[in-house]
Amino acid sequence: MTHTAELVSTGAELLSGRSINTHARLLGERLGRLGITLTRDTTVQDDLASIQAALRDAATRVDTIFVSGGLGPTNDDVTRDAVADLLHRRVVMDTDSLNRLRERMIRAQRPMTPARERQALVVAGAHVWPNPVGAAPGERIQQDGKTYFLLPGPPPEFQAILDEHIVPYLAQTLGDTVALRERVLLVHGLGEGDIVHRFDQASFPPAGITTAYCAGAGRVEIRLHPATPETADALLDEAAEHVARMLGTAVYARERVELEELVARRFRERKQTLATAESCTGGLIGARLTALPGCSDFYVGGIIAYANEVKERMLRVPAALLQNEGAVSEAVARAMADGARAQAQSDYAVAVTGIAGPGGGTAEKPVGLVYLAVAGPDGTRAFRTIFPGNRETIREATCRAALRHLLDQPGM
Ligand code: ATP
Ligand code: MG
């Protein structure tokens, strides 16, 4: 097993703008954790010739090839035929998959049709993994020193098969040969440029360590890798500590983790509850929190208070405050947080109010101006920020800042 792999993504919808190719990103991330680099993603139309050409090409470069999509029941799903034909194998019915499919149809009270049965077809000789959330199974085919992984297109199915079967399989196959040695630090509030500048001033990294950066979604991920196999773990640890000292509180995690997950951990540890009051984010904060399974053990709910009347009636923000200070003001953010905390009877509440644009800005209160408040047992703290960008990025940044501030509360 080599340490590079390629993906062949199939589907005209990925090329016509109807779907975004999320598989490349997920696969690259999961493989990266195993020390395997995804070196190429080739997206092709879902026809036999295009798929085969891409596979032939990939096989000239790497030994591990992932193929996604086109395993469904319709006759535009030709991936398994393409692979079988390329490898001079037959397509056969997999009885286990067929039985699982039949049970699935019975549970769903739907008839079994010949088209559905097609989803239990596999390339002869393939190792078959059941699909935990859908019909078409995942397959692994080994031939001529190459390993082909076939996965269905729907993102939940692609992810389930990858995480439940393929990642454990690869981890086991690779064994300790590439026990992944990296240190990760997540940074919020500093750009890549700021970070690199500080590193340069401190002549970081030291010999034996290489750095990699990934910026996106309002944070920068810093990765430290051994420059050679001889680099000691202690040196990696020391380098990570050095980064943490240089960047201070901007470092909010030492692992790859989403902000809401950190918030959840913190509230669960403290057995405290949280409510939200959202104006300009319109429920984005609540949506991110409720995307976490089991979030009800700390997140009690939220109010989307867009109009002033709703801020008054549901969050008890005084009318005079709205009148005198304006809806986008520190006083109103505080009152929203206090109101949400009181109404929801939660330990904490976070409130945001801001101008997401494109209209509505003034010289005094420009587009991007956001007030954020967190109310808790130790009082209410407010923050003012001006975010650059458009409506979407301002709302996203506000959401992240709210989650970030929840982690920074005294006693939290
Ligand atoms: P199905 O049984 O649903 O037909 P399939 O394995 O045949 O599954 P496709 O028909 O290729 O897969 O795609 C099914 C769905 O998955 C489509 O909505 C498609 O947009 C989505 N999809 C396929 N490939 C990707 C990808 N690389 N990234 C994100 N979504 C994808
Ligand atoms: Mg399909």
Mean pLDDT split into 10-residue runs, the chain, 412 residues: 86 93 93 88 96 98 96 89 97 95 91 90 96 94 96 96 94 64 90 94 94 85 86 93 95 92 96 97 98 96 97 97 97 98 98 95 95 97 94 94 89 64
Whether the Cβ atoms of residue 70 and residue 46 lie closer than 8 Å to each other:
yes
Tell me if 187 sits within 8 A of 219, measured CB to CB. Answer: yes
> Tokens 């918030």 correspond to what residue?
263
Classify 149 as helix, strand or coil: strand
Question: Is ligand 1 within 6 A of the CB of residue 11?
Answer: yes
Question: What amino acid is encoded at 151 in this protein?
Answer: L
Separation between Cα atoms, residue 39 and residue 99, nearest integer Å: 37
pLDDT at position 180 is: 66
Q: Tell whether ligand 1 has an atom less than 6 A from the beta carbon of residue 136.
A: yes
In this prediction, residue 1 carries a pLDDT of 47
| pLDDT, position 212 | 87
Across the strands, what pairs with 93?
121
- Whole-Å CA distances, 274 to 116, 183, 350, 353, 396: 45, 31, 8, 18, 20
pLDDT at 175: 60
Is 336 in contact with 375 (CB distance < 8 Å)?
A: no
**Centre of ligand 1 from the C-alpha of residue 115, in Å:** 17
Supply the pLDDT for residue 214: 85
Among 13, 66, 67, 113, the mutation site with the greatest number of ligand 1 atoms within 8 A of its Cβ is 13
Q: Which pLDDT belongs to residue 399?
A: 96
Predicted pLDDT at 369: 97
Residue nearest to atom 8 of ligand 1 (CA): 72
> H or E stretch including 144?
none
Contact 93, 120 (CB under 8 A): yes
Residue 166 per-residue DSSP state: I
Buried b (16+ CB within 10 A) or exposed e, 126-145: bebbbbeebbbbbbbbeeee
Is the pTM value of this prediction over 0.75?
no
Do 407 and 260 meet the contact criterion of CB atoms below 8 Å apart?
no
Q: Which amino acid is at 225?
A: H
What pLDDT sits at residue 178?
A: 43
Please indicate whether residue 68, judged by its CB atom, sits closer than 6 Å to ligand 1: yes
> Does 357 sit in the ligand 1 pocket, CB within 6 Å?
no
Q: Which ligand is nearest to the CA of 13?
A: 1
Q: Which residues have C-beta within 8 Å of that of residue 109, sequence separation ≥ 6? A: none
pLDDT for the residue 330: 98
